[in-house]
Amino acid sequence: MTPIERLARWLENAHPTAAASLQPGADKKAIARLSRALDDVPGAATLLDLYRWKGGQTDPLAPSLRENYTWLSIPELFEAKDMLDDMAKGGEWDDEGETWISWWVPGWVPFFERGSDLYLVDTVGSFGGKPGQILEFLHDSEDRQIVAPSFDAWLRVWVDSLEANLWTVDDTGFIDAADALDRFVAKRLPGYPRWKKAKKTRKAPTKTKPAAKKATTKTPRKRR
């Protein structure tokens, strides 16, 4: 079975309320748009297959799939991405004299959301990493966690951990991880997670142009 088939089976058996909240698979137009954004990075094909299977969760009160994270539909992920792209371009998080160059990067494509926190595909290889790696974006912290080298690896290890009974679902639909999850992931993804920090750079001083001299007009002398 593929990881997606295994995920479907686990949700039906262990988290049926979350399974019932999943939307029908995304249409061809939405898949094509997401494919262009992912730019064929490693793991992109699997994420596209996931959206062909189901289209995410459009209900903001839907049961979480992991640690209060819900799965964004393709329209929702582009709404979040476009907003954050615009905020980054507009210097939303800049300080006086300094600008953030990696608080949010336009090459990031989110797919899971928890409030304003996101799991995302990094298509440009930020923080010295490789395109296709999976990051966790925390909206109120400069910490950036690279959690897996690709979406393939992230999905496989997540499904492995579900089947290993390392997650529990409470009566409200909240799903939480066991303490052993970090050790479980470390064995399957050596070297991950990798903790990085968003970087700042000094703003170039603004050059002020010298004030233009006012043109003076000479009053012609009257002839006597």
Q: Are 139 and 164 in contact (CB under 8 A)?
A: no
Q: Does some domain include residue 189?
A: yes
pLDDT over threshold 60, residue 74 = yes
* The predicted structure's pLDDT at residue 176: 87
pLDDT over threshold 80, residue 222 = no
Report which residue type is found at 81. Answer: K
**Stretch among 60-64, 75-79, 106-110, 209-213 having the lowest mean pLDDT:** 209-213
* The predicted structure's pLDDT at residue 7: 98
**Stretch among 56-60, 64-68, 199-203, 206-210 having the lowest mean pLDDT:** 206-210
Q: Does some domain include residue 159?
A: yes
* The predicted structure's pLDDT at residue 224: 43
Q: How many residues are listed for the chain in this entry?
A: 224
- Domain of residue 119 covers 3-202
Q: Does some domain include residue 213?
A: no
* The predicted structure's pLDDT at residue 91: 85
If you average pLDDT over residues 9-21, what whole number do you get?
96
Name which residue leads in pLDDT, 172 or 69.
69
Coil/strand/helix, residue 63: coil
Q: Does some domain include residue 221?
A: no
How far apart are alpha carbons 173 and 18 in whole angstroms? Answer: 7
Buried b (16+ CB within 10 A) or exposed e, 44-60: bebbbebbebbbbbeee
pLDDT over threshold 90, residue 209 = no
* The predicted structure's pLDDT at residue 80: 97
pLDDT over threshold 80, residue 216 = no
Q: Does some domain include residue 211?
A: no
Confidence at 60, pLDDT banded by 50, 70, 90: confident
pTM over 0.95: no
Q: Does some domain include residue 147?
A: yes
Q: Does some domain include residue 120?
A: yes
How far apart are alpha carbons 136 and 148 in whole angstroms? Answer: 10
Count structural domains, the chain: 1
Q: Are 113 and 70 in contact (CB under 8 A)?
A: yes
pLDDT over threshold 90, residue 178 = no
